[in-house]
Amino acid sequence: MDLYEAIYKRRDIRKFRPDPVPEDALGRILEAAHHAGSVGFMQPWNFILVRDLAVRGRVKASFEEHNRAAAELYEGGRRELYESLKLEGILESPLNICVTCDRRRGGTVLGRASILDTDLFSTCCAVQNLWLAARAEGVGVGWVSILDNAALTAALALPEGVVPLAYLCVGYPVEFPESPMLESVGWRGRLPLGDLVFRDRFGQR
């Protein structure tokens, strides 16, 4: 699969088959993540491979609490639609990966003095590499953000200064849908690119 194909065929996956991802494929996916760009070559990421069902149960409980709260933000048909959506595959997927960002790694990092959050941006680049490499391997990834960072920190025993950046469900998908699920159910569509590109200053077409 070439890069553009992986980009266009990548999907957020919430429905998984139970078969495990072979170690060699997982190794290639993690290696791709580890080859992301990072501010000052800081490489602030760690990848916590979460298989323990007790740990995953704690994460799922946090999801359920936050998902209930999120549903309250909508009313009527929109709420009904929200409540019908499957927004995670924490327990069904054979593997969860928490990608963390160690905000203290490397001391005074070249290029990070002005914009402290560049370590977080770098870790997002690693997540995107992971997501695309997984797609090229036929492996699905679903990002779960309807969660409490404090609950993740406790469940995964993260030390001071290490923050959870992405909690990912990983495994072979039931399918790779053609379009984003939120688009197919009528929640929200892709914006026209032409509306998003400006000339020289914000808003100028």
Q: Is 163 in the site for ligand FMN (CB under 6 A)?
A: no
Q: Is the dihedral of CA 182, 183, 188, 190 positive or negative?
A: positive
Q: Is 87 in the site for ligand FMN (CB under 6 A)?
A: yes
Provide CB contacts within 8 A for 20, sequence distance 6+. 94, 95, 171
DSSP conformational letter for 87: -
Q: Is 184 in the site for ligand FMN (CB under 6 A)?
A: no
Backbone φ and ψ for 127, nearest 5 degrees, come out as -65, -40
Region near ligand FMN per CB under 6 A, out of 18-26, 27-35, 98-106, 143-151 = 143-151
Sheet holding 162-171, edge to edge: 45-50, 95-102, 162-171, 140-144
The CA distance from 85 to 30, in Å, is 29
Q: Smallest gap, in angstroms, from Cβ of residue 124 to ligand FMN?
A: 8
Q: Is 162 in the site for ligand FMN (CB under 6 A)?
A: no
Q: Is 112 in the site for ligand FMN (CB under 6 A)?
A: no
Q: Which is nearer to ligand FMN, 40 or 129 (CB)?
A: 129
For the beta carbon of residue 31, count every other beta carbon within 10 angstroms.
Answer: 12
Q: Which is nearer to ligand FMN, 91 or 182 (CB)?
A: 182
Q: Which is nearer to ligand FMN, 13 or 39 (CB)?
A: 13
Residue of 28, 106, 143, 149 interacting with ligand FMN (CB under 6 A): 143
With CA atoms as reference, report the closest residue to 129 among 67, 196, 47. Answer: 47
Q: Is 14 in the site for ligand FMN (CB under 6 A)?
A: yes
Contacts with ligand FMN by CB under 6 A lie at 11-12, 14, 87-88, 143-146, 180, 182
